[in-house]
Structure 1
Amino acid sequence: MYEFLSSHKRHDIVDMQEIFNEKKNEILKENQEIESIIIPMYKKKMDNIAGKISTSTAKFDELEIEAEKHRKLWHREVDNNFNKVDSMIKFTRENYLTSLKSHQSKYKNHIPDLMQTVDQNKEILKTDKVSDVNNYKSKLTEYRDIPADIDVKVPSLNTNTVQGRELSIELGEYKATLTQTSLSSLTERVSLYLSMRELLEKPRVIATIPTGIQPLCQVACVGKDEAWVSGGFGIIRRVDIHGSLQEPVSAEFVLSPYEISVTRQGELIHIDSFNGTVNIVRDGRTEVLITPPQGWTPGGLCCTRSGNILVNVKSKRQNKILRYQGKILRQEIYKDEHRNIIFKEGHCVLNLTENNNGDICVSYLNAGIVIVVDKTGRVRFKYDGTPARREKPFSPRLIVTDSMSHIIVTDNNNTCLHILDQNGQFLKCVDNCRLNKPIVWIVREGCG
C-alpha cells in the first residue's frame, strides 16, 4: 500500500496536505507583502499627490495674487503716464494763455494813449495859433512800432494703438509707449495657425452620447469622461461619455433645469428657481449655497477658474451679474465706466461663461447681442451677429469658450453656432453638422 502512495508508474505522488499548506503559505506571504509593502506604498503615493495638490494650489493662488499685483502696477504706470500728460497740458495751457493775455494787455494799454494823441491833434488842427502848430512833435514813428505778434501753437496729442501689441501716446516732446512682446511668439503663431486651420475645416460629429433626457437643455462637463446633464421635467443626471448613468436615480431633482455648472472640485451647482437660490450637490445631498439679495432672483450661472461663482440676478426687468466667493458677495456688474446701464431691460436671463483671460462673456437675448466685459466689469466689446450675414435676426442663447479662447454662441433663429476670437472678431458660423435647435446642444465646460 505504501509503495502505491509513493509512486505510480514511476511518477512521484505529492501529499495533498503538503499542497494545501504550500498554498496557504503563498497566500500568507502575498497578504503580508500587500499589507506591509504595497498598501503603504499606495498610501504614500496618495499622500504625495495630496501634498502636490496642496502645494500646486498654493502656488497657483500666489500666481493669481502676483498677477493681480502686477495688474495694479501696470494700471498705476498707465495712470502715471496719463497724469503726466494731463499735467503737461495744464502747464502748457497756463503758460500759453498767460503769454497771450500779456500781449493783449500791451495792445490794450496803447489804445488810450493813441486816442489821446488823436484828440490833441484834432485840437491843434482847429487852432490858429502858430506856436501850437510849430511846437507839435510827431509820435507816429513810435506808434508804428507795434509790438510783434506772439506765435502760440497748441501741441497736438498723438496716439497709436496696435491691439495686443503696442499702445503709445505723444504730447510735444513727451512720449510714452507700452509694448507687448512674447518670448514664445513662434510657438504661439504655429499654435494659432494650427488652431485656425482646424477651425476653418468642415466641422464633423466625433461622438453621440445618449443621455436619456428629452429635451436636453444643458451639459456641464466633469473632467474629460463625465458630465452633468439637465432637461425637461426638472431632471438632472450624471452620465459618462458612453451615456451610462453614474449617479443613482435619487440624484434627479425637481427644479428649473436650465442653469447648471460645475465647481473646480467637480460638484454640481444649479439654480432652484422655485426657492430663488443657488444650490450645490454634495455626496448626493442638496444644500443652499447662495441666496441672492432680497428682491432679486437668480437666472444665469457660471463657475470661474479661480473658484468664484458668477450669478445673473433679475429684479422685475433689470439684470445684474454678481460675483460670489463662496457665500460672500464680492462684485456687482451692471454699469459701465460711464455709469450707463450695461444690460437693457428685458425678461430673458443672461447666459454666462468665463474666458481664459478672465473676461465674462454674456449672451443677452433681450438685446440680441453678445456682451463681453473684463474682470473689473468694463465693457470690452459687443457682437450683434451682423458679420455672420445670416438670413434671420441674431438670437443668442447659450455661450461657451474653448481652450483657444474662442467664444462660441448658439443662434437659435438661424440654427447655427457663431465663433468669435477673444477680441470679438467674427471667425465663422457652424451650421452643417446636424444641428437641430442648438440651444439644446451646446456644452458648458466645467471648471477645474
Structure 2
Amino acid sequence: MDPHTSAQDVIRCDLCKTAVVQMHCDTCLVNPCKACVGEHISADLSKPHKIVNFKDRKSTLLYPGCKSHNKEQCTMYCIQSDIPVCPKCITSDQHLGHKISEILKVVDEKKNIVIKERNELNETIYPIYQDIASDVQNRVSQLQKEYEDLSTAITKHGEDLHREIDNLVKKLNAAVDEMKNTQLLTLQKHLDEINKKISDIKDEINSIGIVIKSIDISKLFSVTSKVHIYRNLPQKIVPSLPKFIPRKIQGEELSKLFGALSPSSLISEENRYSMKTSQKSQEAESSPPVKQLLDEPEIVTTIDTGYVYLYNVACLSDEEIWTSGIDCTMKLLSISEGSLLKSIRTKSKRWPYDMAVTKMGNLVYTDYDDRTVNIAKNDNIEEVIRLQNWRPRGVCRTFSGDLLVIMNSDDDEHSKVVRYFGSTEKQTIQFDDKGNPLFSSGSYKKYLTENKNLDICVSDGGAGAVVVVNQAGKLRFRYTGHTPAPKNKSFNPKGITSDSQSHILTADVNNDFIHIIDQNGQFLCYIYCGLSGPHGLCTDTNDNLFVAQWRNKQVKKIKYLQ
C-alpha cells in the first residue's frame, strides 16, 4: 500500500517519508517526525522555527515576513502606509511619524470585515445569485415552451393550408373525373354505333356472297344494295381536354402568403437585478397576491354615458374609461366624476363594433362596415388593418403588444381569430385538430380577450359558449354556462375580460349576470348587482370590474375581489 496515496494509512513524515508524523513547524508548515526535527531546523537556521505537537498545529499565528528586512517577521502594522512592518521598519526613516498599531489588532479588525463579507456572500449574495440562476432557468424553460408553441402554431397554420390545398386538389380532381366520364361515355356510345354498323356490313357481305354463288337467278334480282347507306361515314368525334394552368408562386411570394415572423430580440436592462435579501425570479416577483372572491360584490360607482345603446367599455387608466355604443362618437369619461374628458368620431362615421387600449395608451377600434381596424393617436385616426372578404368584430391587446381580432367572412360562413403585429398577420386560429371550426358561423356577436396565462378566450354568441384556446391555437375547453341559469334563459355571452387571478369574466345578456370561471373552465360564481343588459366588460389594474349596460346606458364599477 502506498503510504502517500492511501486514505486509510497514517500520515508520514515529510522528510524521511517512513516514520509517523509527530511534530509540526508552524513557521514552515512542515510535518516532521521527532527524529527529523533537528534536520528540519538545521536546514534553514535563518528562520525562528516554532515546533509544536502535530495535534496542536496552526495554534499560533504565522506572521508575514518583512519585504524590507530579510529574516524579520512583521508583528506591527503601519496605518499610513497600510502595510505590515517589522521592528526594524518602525525605527527607519520610511515610517517616521507614522501611526503604528499591533498587527493582531489590525488582523482582528480585518477578520471582522472579512467575516462580514463572508456572511454577506453566504446569507445575501449567494441566495440572490441562486434566485437569479433560477430566474434565468425559468426564462430558458419559458422560452423553450414559447418557441415550441410558436413552432406548433406555424405547423398548424401549415396544416390548415395543406388542408385547404388538399380540398382544392380534391375539387379539381373531381371536376377532371366528371369531364373524363362525360367524354368517355360519349366516345363509347359512338364506338358502339360504329361496331353495330361493322357487324351489319359483315352480314351484308355474307348475304351478297351467298346470292352470287346461288344458281337461283331470281335471288340475284332480289338483292337490294345498301352500299349507299354505308358510304355515308360516321362523324369524327375528337375530344378536347381541359388544361390545368398552375399559378407559379415564387418563394418570396409564398412566404408572404403563408405568414412571417416578427423579429426576436434580447434586451439587457439597465436596471440590473435588485440586491434584495429576498430576491425571487421575475415570475415569482411579479406574481400578484392571491385574492378571494367577495361573497357579495359591491357597486363602487355608476356612470351615465348618454348613449342610446351602450355596448363597449375599455379602461385607459384607473381614473378614465373609453365607452362606445350605436354612435360614431367614442367618449373618454372620468370614473370619479362621470364627466366627459374627450370624444373621438370614427373615421367612417359608422359606430365601432369593439375597442381596446394599447400598451401606449392609444385607443384601437374595429369598424365592421368599413372592414378596418383603426388606432387613434393624438386625435388622429390611422387605419392599421384593412380586410378583404372578412369583417372585423372583437379586438383586444395582448401582453406582448400584438392585436387579436376575431372576424367573420362576408358570407358569414366562417369565423377566425387572427394575431397581428402592427399590420402583419402572425397567426390564424380557425380549426381544431380534427379540422372542425372552432367558432360558430353566422352574423353573431363575438368578443375576445387574452388571459394572464396567455390563453385566448372568445365569447361566441352564436355557439352560446366561451371558447378558450391556448397561445398556439389548440382548443382547451368550451364553457356553455352554468345550470340552472339564474333566469332559466339560454347562455348568451357578450363582453369578456380577465383579471390578475386568471379568472375569465363574461357578460350573460340574457340572464343579466356576469359569469366568473377559472382558467380551466370551472364555474366559480355569478355577479348580480341589479345589472340591466350587461354587454361590454373590462378590468382595471386593481381588479375592479367595469360593466357597460346596453339597456340603461350606464357603466357600473364593481368590486368583486377582496
Structure-2-length-normalised TM-score: 0.45
Determine what percentage of the aligned residue pairs are the same residue.
36
Which one-letter code corresponds to 2:422 in the other structure?
Answer: G
Give the aligned partner of residue 143 of structure 2: 69
Mapping of 1:129-148 within 5 angstroms? none
Once the two structures are TM-superposed, the CA of residue 261 in structure 1 deviates from its matched residue by 0.8
Residue 232 (structure 2) pairs with residue 232 (structure 1): no
Once the two structures are TM-superposed, the CA of residue 248 in structure 1 deviates from its matched residue by 5.3
Please, which of 366, 373, 380 is the counterpart of residue 278 of structure 1? 373
Mapping of 1:22-421 within 5 angstroms? 66=140, 68-71=142-145, 191-192=289-290, 195-196=291-292, 199-241=293-335, 242-247=337-342, 254-292=349-387, 294-315=388-409, 316-317=411-412, 318-387=414-483, 389-390=485-486, 391-421=488-518
2-structure distance, mates of 1:425, 1:395: 18
Once the two structures are TM-superposed, the CA of residue 287 in structure 1 deviates from its matched residue by 1.0
Which one-letter code corresponds to 1:204 in the other structure?
Answer: E
Give the aligned partner of residue 522 of structure 2: 425
Q: CA RMSD in A?
A: 3.3
Deviations 1:145-192 (A, max 9, x none): xxxxxxxxxxxxxxxxxxxxxxxxxxxxxxxxxxxxx999x9999954
Q: 1:219 to 1:72 in 2, by over 3 A?
A: closer
1-structure distance, mates of 2:497, 2:137: 25
Higher helix proportion: 1
Gaps of 5+ in 1: 1-61, 77-181
Deviations 1:118-139 (A, max 9, x none): xxxxxxxxxxxxxxxxxxxxxx
1-structure distance, mates of 2:345, 2:444: 31
Give SS of 2:340's match.
coil
Aligned partners of 1:218 and 1:444 also within 8 Å: no
Give SS of 1:345's match.
coil
2-structure distance, mates of 1:337, 1:207: 45
Aligned partners of 2:440 and 2:460 also within 8 Å: no
Q: 1:235 to 1:190 in 2, by over 3 A?
A: closer
2-structure distance, mates of 1:425, 1:263: 30
Deviations 1:260-310 (A, max 9, x none): 111100101111223210011111011100112x21111111111110001
Which one-letter code corresponds to 2:302 in the other structure?
Answer: T
Q: 1:215 to 1:68 in 2, by over 3 A?
A: same
2-structure distance, mates of 1:402, 1:74: 26
2-structure distance, mates of 1:63, 1:223: 34
Displaced runs of 4 or more, over 6 A: 62-65, 73-76, 186-190, 249-253
**Which of structures 1 and 2 has the bigger CA Rg?**
2
Which one-letter code corresponds to 1:230 in the other structure?
Answer: S
Structure-1-length-normalised TM-score: 0.55
Aligned partners of 1:214 and 1:232 also within 8 Å: yes
Once the two structures are TM-superposed, the CA of residue 215 in structure 1 deviates from its matched residue by 2.5
1-structure distance, mates of 2:343, 2:463: 41
Once the two structures are TM-superposed, the CA of residue 238 in structure 1 deviates from its matched residue by 1.2
Structure 1, 62-71 or 202-211: larger mean CA deviation = 62-71
Q: Number of matched residues?
A: 273
Gaps of 5+ in 2: 1-135, 151-279, 542-562
Q: 1:243 to 1:75 in 2, by over 3 A?
A: closer
Once the two structures are TM-superposed, the CA of residue 228 in structure 1 deviates from its matched residue by 1.2
Aligned partners of 2:493 and 2:509 also within 8 Å: yes
1-structure distance, mates of 2:287, 2:403: 33
2-structure distance, mates of 1:63, 1:399: 34
Which one-letter code corresponds to 1:244 in the other structure?
Answer: S
1-structure distance, mates of 2:479, 2:433: 19
Give SS of 1:203's match.
strand
Once the two structures are TM-superposed, the CA of residue 222 in structure 1 deviates from its matched residue by 0.7
Deviations 1:173-213 (A, max 9, x none): xxxxxxxxx999x9999954xx23xx141111011223333
Which one-letter code corresponds to 1:421 in the other structure?
Answer: D
Q: 1:445 to 1:324 in 2, by over 3 A?
A: farther
2-structure distance, mates of 1:63, 1:207: 45
Give SS of 2:304's match.
coil
Q: 1:74 to 1:227 in 2, by over 3 A?
A: same
Give the aligned partner of residue 127 of structure 2: none
Q: 1:438 to 1:273 in 2, by over 3 A?
A: same
Once the two structures are TM-superposed, the CA of residue 397 in structure 1 deviates from its matched residue by 1.0
